[in-house]
Structure 1
Amino acid sequence: MIGKLYLIPTTLGETEPLEVMPLSVKKVVEEIDYYIVENEKSARRFIKKITPKKQQPSLHIMLLDKYAEELETSKYLDICQQGINVGLLSEAGVPAVADPGATIVKLAHQKNIKVVPLVGPSSILMAMMSSGMNGQNFAFNGYLPIDKGDRKRALKDLEKLSQDKNQSQIFIETPYRNEKMFADLKAALSPTTNLCIAADITLPSEYIKTMTVKDWKHQQPDLHKKPAIFIIQK
C-alpha cells in the first residue's frame, strides 16, 4: 500500500490549534512522523502544541524553502512507497495556497500518491467570507508590484477587472508594507470602490472592516506588521 500525503493546516498566529481546527487534524499529526515544512523550528513548535505527548526525536523533517534543491525535494515523497504517510505543513494557514507547498502536491499527483486535504483556517477564504463582497466570483492575485507606479497601475487594473466581471479582487502584502499599501489604495482607487481589510484573522486582535475608499480616508487602522488580506470590488 502506498502512503498518503496529508495537507495539514496550521494556525494563523499564536492561537490554540483546536480553537480553529477540528480534532481530525490532531489525530493525523499524532500518527505522522514524516513532515515537509517551510521552517523546522515553527513546525516542531506547532506539532508539540497540538500533540504534546509526541516525541520530537521521532520526527523526520524535510525542508521546503528557497534553499531546497529541486533534485532533493523530488525525493521527499519516496518514503510513501513504503506505505508511510507524509504531512505537508504550511507556515501559516492551509498548505499550497499562497504557499510553496503546491510543488509537493503536484509531485504527489505525478507519483500517484493520494492527496488528503484537512480542514483548517485559510485567511484568504475567511476574509472573503466576512467581506460582504461577491463570494460567487472572486480572484486571488497574490502580491502586487513593489514599485509605487507599477502598483498603482495594478490597482487600477484590478479595479476595472472587478467592475467588468463583477469579481472581488483579493491580494496580500508583506506585513511591514501594509501601511504603504493602505495609503496607495486610498490614493489610486475610486472613492466609490469597496475595500475590505482583514488583519490578524482568528487572533484576539482580529480586525475586519469593509467600507468605500471615500470612507476609509477618515480611518487609520493599525496594520503595522500584521498579516492582512485586502479585497476590492467596484
Structure 2
Amino acid sequence: MAGILYLIPNTLGQSDADNVDPLASVIPMEVQAITAKLGYFVAENAKTARAFLKLINASHPLTQALQTINIAELNVNTPITSLPALLAPLLAGEDGGLVSEAGVPAVADPGANLVRLAHENGIRVRPLVGPSSLLLAVMSSGLNGQSFAFNGYLPIDAEQRIKRIKALELRSRQEKQTQLFIETPYRNGAMLEALSAHCQPNTLICVSTDLTLPTETIKTQTAARWKAALNSNKGPDFHKKPTVFLILAE
C-alpha cells in the first residue's frame, strides 16, 4: 500500500525578535506532530528544509535524527522526468512530506506537478493547515474576496510590465475581480511606482508586506493616493521584504 503525501506549510519568514517561537502562531500543533514523524521530504531547498525541521524539533522531537532524514530537492530547474523518482519512497509504502520554502506547497511553488503525479499513481494526498500569503492578503485587503486571480510575477521589462498591468486592470474592471501578483522583493518599489502611475486614479491597490511577522504592514488605497505618497517620499517600507500586490478596478 502506498504511503501518504502530506503537503506541509512553512512559515512566511522568521522573526528576529528574541524569545519568539516562530511556529506557535502559524503552524498548528497537529501539523508539527505529523511533520516530526516523517523520515522523507521533498523540498525546494534541502538546507532550508532542515532549518524548518530543526524548529519543529524544538517543540515536537523528530522521530529520527535530523541528519538521517532523507530530503530530496524539487525546484524550478527539476526536469519533469525526475518526478517519478521523488515518489518512489511513497510507492514503496513510506509516508512523505512536500514542504514549501514559505507558505503552502504547490501554490506559487514548484510542487504542483508532483502532487498531480501522486494523484495519477493513486497516492493519497493530504493538505495540512498553514499560512498562505495570497489568502491572507485577500482577506486583509478589503477587495473582492468572492472572485480573485493570482497572476504570479509580472514581466521584468518596464514596457511589457505596463502592458500587463493595464490588461489586468481591464480584466479586473470587466469581471469585478481582484488581481493578485508578486514581485522579487528588491523590485517592490518599481512595481508600486508602475501601478500608481499606470492604473486609473480610482483603482484600488493593496500592498501586503511581511504577513504574519512583527513587521507586517497592509495598506489599501487608490492609485492616486499611492502616487501622492510616493511623490512625498512616504511610500511603504518594503524593500527586500516579501510582498503581495492586489488591485481592484471599479
Amino acid of the residue matched to residue 158 of structure 2? K
Match for residue 124 of structure 1 among 124, 134, 138: 134
Structure 1's 67 and 132: CA in aligned 2 closer, same or farther, altered over 3 A?
Answer: closer
CA distance in structure 1 between the aligned counterparts of 2:145 and 2:191, rounded to whole angstroms: 23
Match for residue 236 of structure 2 among 194, 216, 221: 221
Deviation of 1:68 after TM superposition, in Å, equals 3.1
SS of corresponding position for 1:77: helix
SS of corresponding position for 1:75: helix
CA distance in structure 2 between the aligned counterparts of 1:162 and 1:66, rounded to whole angstroms: 29
Structure 1 unpaired stretches of 5+: none
CA distance in structure 2 between the aligned counterparts of 1:165 and 1:194, rounded to whole angstroms: 15
Residue 188 (structure 1) aligned with residue 198 (structure 2): yes
CA distance in structure 2 between the aligned counterparts of 1:195 and 1:111, rounded to whole angstroms: 42
Residue 48 (structure 1) aligned with residue 63 (structure 2): no
Match for residue 38 of structure 2 among 14, 32, 54: 32
**Greater CA deviation, 209-218 or 59-68?**
59-68
Amino acid of the residue matched to residue 49 of structure 1? L
Residue 96 (structure 1) aligned with residue 106 (structure 2): yes
Amino acid of the residue matched to residue 237 of structure 2? D
Residue 70 (structure 1) aligned with residue 75 (structure 2): no
Residue 198 (structure 1) aligned with residue 208 (structure 2): yes
Match for residue 179 of structure 1 among 165, 189, 192: 189
Amino acid of the residue matched to residue 124 of structure 1? L
**Greater CA deviation, 66-75 or 29-38?**
66-75
**Greater CA deviation, 18-27 or 176-185?**
18-27
SS of corresponding position for 2:141: coil
Amino acid of the residue matched to residue 202 of structure 2? T
Residue 20 (structure 1) aligned with residue 41 (structure 2): no
* Residue in 2 that maps onto 1:158: 168
> Conserved in 1, the CA contact under 8 Å of 2:76 and 2:110?
no
* Residue in 1 that maps onto 2:8: 8
Deviation of 1:2 after TM superposition, in Å, equals 1.5
Deviation of 1:211 after TM superposition, in Å, equals 0.4
TM-score when normalising by structure 1:
0.97
In the TM superposition, structure 1's runs of 4+ consecutive aligned residues that sit over 2 Å from their partners are: 65-73
Amino acid of the residue matched to residue 195 of structure 2? L
Amino acid of the residue matched to residue 17 of structure 1? L
SS of corresponding position for 2:25: helix
Amino acid of the residue matched to residue 230 of structure 1? F
Deviation of 1:67 after TM superposition, in Å, equals 4.2
* Residue in 1 that maps onto 2:118: 108
Structure 2 unpaired stretches of 5+: 16-21, 230-234
> Conserved in 1, the CA contact under 8 Å of 2:197 and 2:227?
no
> Conserved in 2, the CA contact under 8 Å of 1:44 and 1:56?
yes
Amino acid of the residue matched to residue 244 of structure 2? I
> Conserved in 1, the CA contact under 8 Å of 2:203 and 2:248?
yes
CA distance in structure 1 between the aligned counterparts of 2:194 and 2:238, rounded to whole angstroms: 14
Amino acid of the residue matched to residue 26 of structure 2? V
CA distance in structure 2 between the aligned counterparts of 1:67 and 1:232, rounded to whole angstroms: 31
Deviation of 1:69 after TM superposition, in Å, equals 3.8
Amino acid of the residue matched to residue 5 of structure 1? L
Amino acid of the residue matched to residue 203 of structure 1? L
Q: Give the 5 Å matches for 1:132-147.
A: 132-147=142-157
CA distance in structure 2 between the aligned counterparts of 1:71 and 1:229, rounded to whole angstroms: 32
CA distance in structure 2 between the aligned counterparts of 1:175 and 1:169, rounded to whole angstroms: 19
CA distance in structure 2 between the aligned counterparts of 1:18 and 1:5, rounded to whole angstroms: 23
CA distance in structure 2 between the aligned counterparts of 1:71 and 1:12, rounded to whole angstroms: 30
Deviation of 1:73 after TM superposition, in Å, equals 2.5
> Conserved in 2, the CA contact under 8 Å of 1:18 and 1:50?
no
